[in-house]
Amino acid sequence: MMKEKGYRLAALRAAFPYTVPILAGFAFLGFAYGVYMNVLGFPFYYPFLMAFVIFGGSLEFVAVSMLLAPFSPLASFLLALLIQARHLFYGLSLFDTYRGLGWKRFFLIFGLCDETFSIIFTAKRRLPQGVDRGWFMLWITWLNEGYWVLSALLGGIIGGLLPFDTTGLGFVMTSMFVVIFLEQWLHEAYHFTAWLGLLAAGSCLALFGAQSFMIPTMAVILAVLLFARRPLSRHYLPQAAEARTAQPAGAEERGGH
């Protein structure tokens, strides 16, 4: 490599400011995740290891309920796929951005969470002069990952020592999904699939019970989306009819949470 020395550090310096909002958010969420597991009786290394291995915020919370429920590998795997399916979209949007970056590409994709996606997607347009692009994006990815994993570790260690009653802290997960749901709602002009998710899940919960309603719900959602694809495409696939371009699908559509 013919790069001047210190280009990694320069990229880190350029990347850090972009990650400060994520630091604040992850410090709270990751910590809450660690405390949440701690309060449920898990040793401190559980949230740390799960944060490190899974690295997908909302799924990690759900994974805790999977550990507390009877073992059901297929249902867990399918639910995890469904929760994480939105990442497919991030990959499509950053497909070209991540090209030709060699080994860094693996780590960039590995750590491509909602927040990292939105930061990189906005930052790559106004990259500071003379900064190594690959390292810049890699630092953003690693910094965010580090914030999350360390906060989870800290929450797992401190959790039980918190000088107040933590009953009900698990509601942080509910409120997180309420906020994400609302953000998505506010972002969309057409709310069919938002209602579909709520109603399909609500009725399947009533029909099948808390232990086994997820797979029927997922099946209903997918079936409705596939059967009603033609009329729904008008709302969820703008310009589908006229422009069949090679552009990555509406990258500006979502900004993670």
Partner 1 sequence: MTQMPLYQQVLTVLLCAAATMITRFLPFLVFSSKKPTPLLVRYLGNALPAAIFGLLVVYCLKDVVWAAAPHGAPELIGIAVTAGLHLWLRRMLVSMAVGTAVYMVLVQGVFA
- Which amino acid, 1? M
Complex with partner 1: residue 55 or 136, whichever CB lies closer: 55
245 and 106 in contact (C-beta within 8 Å)? no
Shortest Å distance, C-beta 151 to partner 1: 13
- Residue 8 vs 166, nearer CB to partner 1: 166
Comparing CB distances to partner 1, the nearer of 8 and 84 is 84
Burial (CB < 10 A; 0-12, 13-18, 19+), residue 133, is middle
Beta-carbon contacts of 66 under 8 Å, excluding residues fewer than 6 positions away, are 72, 76, 79
Closest separation in Å from C-beta 245 to partner 1 = 7
Instruction: Look at phi and psi of residue 129 and say left if phi exceeds 0, alpha if psi is from -120 to 50, else beta.
Output: beta
Residue with smaller CB distance to partner 1, 131 or 180: 180
DSSP state of 142: H
Q: How far is the CB of 71 from partner 1 (least distance, A)?
A: 4
- Shortest spacing between CB 132 and partner 1, in angstroms: 21
What torsion do the CA atoms of 73, 167, 151, 62 make, to the nearest 10 degrees? Answer: 20
Alpha-carbon distance of 71 to 69, in angstroms, equals 6
Q: For the CB of residue 49, give the shortest distance to partner 1 in the complex, in Å.
A: 8
Q: Measured from the CB atom, is 66 or 158 closer to partner 1?
A: 66
CB contact burial 196-220 (16+ within 10 A = b; e otherwise): beeebbeebeeeeeeeebbbbbbeb
